[in-house]
Chain A
Amino acid sequence: MPQPIADIYLPRQARVEQIVAENSQIATFVLAFCDRSYNDGFRYQPGQFMLVSMPHCGEAPISISSTATRPGNIHLSVRRAGKLTHAMHGLRVSDTLGLRGPYGRPFPMEQLAGRDLLFVAGGIGLAPLRAVVDTCLDQRDRFGALTVLYGSRTPSDIAFQGDLELWRKQGVDCRLTVDAAEPGWDGPVGLVTALLDDLAPELDKSTALICGPPLMFRAVLGKLAAMGFGDHQVLTTMERHMKCGVGICRHCHMDGKLACVDGPVFSLAELRKLKILELDG
């Protein structure tokens, strides 16, 4: 008799325990698998993602924004973008959705140990980095100085405000900027790259982690290179359309690599070997 093969595409039921509205477009869903023992044994690493099922919407990959150092719940921070994420924004506490995962290559936390970490994010891009920041804060002695640069469109678009406040209290250097000010905003206005001007990182012990829209991504790469960051010192997580999540369907192809299994976390050195629009466009 052949060995039974795990049903890798079968979503498991998870319940919404809490919903945090981050801004008008982004909400963080605090989830737990309905199967308690599965939930207790569920492990993942920062940078990994889940495939979310919503009724009649198929599946979409969403990066995990919580840290496994705080077991019991998975956080998915989701921006309204398409049909499935719009449906998610209609969820209420105690509703259920489908989850499978975790998938993908995580951030290399072992390699990051002892280093100063510079997080640069725009909009929803802070979601996967939030998992790293919280992992570092839960193992504070393992990592050096933490700096978060975060760009939003307007002050009322600033997401993860509760997290930013908590991080500041724990000694994270958090700096925000907006594309367009609103009354009451006395912070910087402009691209997140401008925030880099004020920093003097110790290059030999720093790594930058970037996640944001393509335009921001390219601008930040240019700036970091000018500051002296080598391609191995820059990490990012790539966003791609995905269906299977396990390296078979090939929707997330990246010039011979697959974002789902070879990534989604890549170093800039790895990305430079690929012909991808994020770097060429």
Chain B
Amino acid sequence: MVHAAAATHSHLLKKDHLKGFLRKLAKEYRLVAPVRNRHSDVLFTVIDDLDAAEIELTEPPQNSLKQFFLPQQERLYTYTTTAEGYDFQPVQATIPPTVYFGVHPCDLSAVLYMDVVFSRHQRDPFYLRRRQGSVLIGVNCNSPAPNCFCNATGSGPFLEMGSDLQLTDLGDRFLVEIGRAPGQALIERWQVFFSPSADKDRAAHYQTFLEARGRFSRQVHVEQAIRQLEADTVPEQVWTELSLRCQDCGGCAYLCPTCTCFTISDQQLDDAGGQRLRSWDACTFAGFTAMAGGHNPVQAKTGAIRQRFTHKLRDDVRQNGRPSCVGCGRCVGICFGGTDIVRFVERACQGSL
């Protein structure tokens, strides 16, 4: 399938031409890409100076695109409490059209999932105004990192659909597939940077895909865990153990590209008013479900851990046909309690393989 798709709509972008192409894009868009900073951390960053930025397309960035569409904290409204009453004022925000360049398949899949979350029941204006006018340029993963398991979640290492343009590193050049109309428009507009792909390029693309698929160091049996959850056969002891070890830090949820639970709270600024904020939240936090007066309908620890994994691996499969874990492995790296999703999958499947 990957091969066939490449054959119909693919171009070549020489690596020597990449900066030139990005320079053109940066004139009309805000440019966000994974950049290695002076501490050697790779982070999705707004690029102001393209010449100074070291774009890193192989090592997975520490953050995902979540913060660009659902900021860790954002102001929804300001409010005033005066003699005339209590009223809310919308915050005027201009979101520049943005090109997200160099997005790995896991993070692209996560954006596609967030699109569903923020428009399934109701269209969320704050998310969608950031998402509208965004262009996604993906790059396939030739060398999955040690914690990666997107092959088990159906979200990588190569992406077949969802981005506007999809790049594959072929050494001295990228094979460029067109995913959506905005991608087609970019190629037409700046065709000077692109050349037609030949059969040998498409063959190299397929070969690269096969090799990438063989480079995963982890075998994570996500499908098996999904079946266990659906059949409700995960031993109670697994939930208890995981919940005892979870330190309630929220690191997994904050780093997770698909954890979109949020809270809404007010911050008083002075006697006459304040602001209403939306902030990231985590279903594993003990207070996530606690009601006024203290009653909590979810058993604080085991119920919360159960919710985290059941939502990602059972409920989202029921709703969307696929898990909302995209196999990026970030929670594996951040969890010091050993309660990340890979450990859960391993524990849930023990004795059933």
Contacts and interface: CB of A to CB of B under 8 A. Distances in A.
Interface of A: 2, 5-11, 13, 15, 34, 53-60, 81-85, 96-98, 214, 239-241, 243-244, 246-256, 261, 276-278
Given A250-B311, A256-B315, 14 more contacts: A5-B123, A9-B125, A9-B264, A11-B88, A13-B88, A55-B81, A56-B81, A248-B117, A248-B121, A249-B263, A249-B281, A256-B310, A277-B303, A278-B297
A98 B86 contact: yes
Nearest to A97: B86
A83 B291 CA distance: 11
Given A34-B85, A277-B297, A8 B124 contact: yes
Contact of A7 (B81, B125, B263, B267): B125
Contact of B86 (A13, A253, A261, A278): A13
B85 A256 contact: no
A261 B132 CA distance: 25
Interface stretch (B32-40, B46-54, B161-169, B282-290): B282-290
Given A55-B79, A98-B86, A85 B263 contact: no
Contact of A248 (B118, B292, B293, B298): B118
A278 B297 CA distance: 7
A224 B120 CA distance: 37
Contacts of B299: 277
B293 A81 contact: yes
Please list the 8 inter-chain residue pairs (A to B) with the smallest Cβ-Cβ separation, ordered nearest first.
Answer: A82-B292, A247-B121, A96-B85, A81-B292, A246-B122, A81-B293, A5-B125, A256-B315
Contact of B262 (A7, A57, A249): A249
B186 to A, nearest CB: 19
A277 B298 contact: yes
B94 to A, nearest CB: 14
19 contacts: A5-B123, A5-B129, A9-B126, A10-B90, A11-B88, A15-B85, A53-B88, A55-B86, A60-B292, A81-B292, A85-B292, A244-B264, A248-B117, A248-B121, A249-B262, A250-B260, A253-B307, A256-B318, A277-B299
B262 A243 contact: yes
B123 A255 contact: no
Contacts of A246: 121-122
A91 to B, nearest CB: 10
B221 interface: no
Contact of A8 (B125, B289, B303): B125
B28 interface: no
B93 to A, nearest CB: 12
Given A2-B132, A9-B76, A249 B125 contact: no
Contact of B87 (A13, A244, A278): A13
Contacts of A253: 283, 289, 298, 307, 311
A58 B133 contact: no
B77 to A, nearest CB: 7
B1 to A, nearest CB: 31
Contacts of A81: 291-293
A2 B314 contact: no
Interface residues of B, number: 54
Contacts of B87: 13, 96, 98
B88 A98 contact: yes
Contacts of B318: 256
Nearest to A15: B85
B23 interface: no
Contacts of B128: 5
A243 B264 contact: yes
Interface in B268-325: 268, 273-274, 276, 278, 281, 283, 288-293, 295, 297-299, 303, 307, 310-311, 314-315, 318
B166 to A, nearest CB: 23
A281 to B, nearest CB: 8
Given A247-B122, A250-B283, A58 B297 contact: no
B229 to A, nearest CB: 10
B233 interface: no
Contacts of A239: 291, 297
B223 interface: no
B261 interface: yes
Contacts of A82: 291-293
B266 interface: yes
Contacts of A57: 266
B265 interface: yes
Contacts of B120: 247
Interface in B101-138: 117-118, 120-126, 128-129, 132-133
Given A57-B266, A59-B264, A240-B291, A10 B297 contact: no
Nearest to A84: B292
Contacts of B125: 5-9
A81 B292 CA distance: 5
Contacts of A247: 120-122
Contact of B122 (A8, A96, A214): A8
Contacts of A54: 86
B264 A241 contact: no
Contacts of A2: 132-133
Contacts of B133: 2
A107 B267 CA distance: 36
Contacts of A214: 295, 297
A278 B298 CA distance: 9
Nearest to A250: B261
A10 B261 contact: no
A240 B278 CA distance: 19
Contacts of B298: 253, 277
A249 B263 CA distance: 7
A241 B86 contact: no
Q: Which of A53, A60, A97, A251 is packed against the most chain B CB atoms within 10 Å?
A: A251
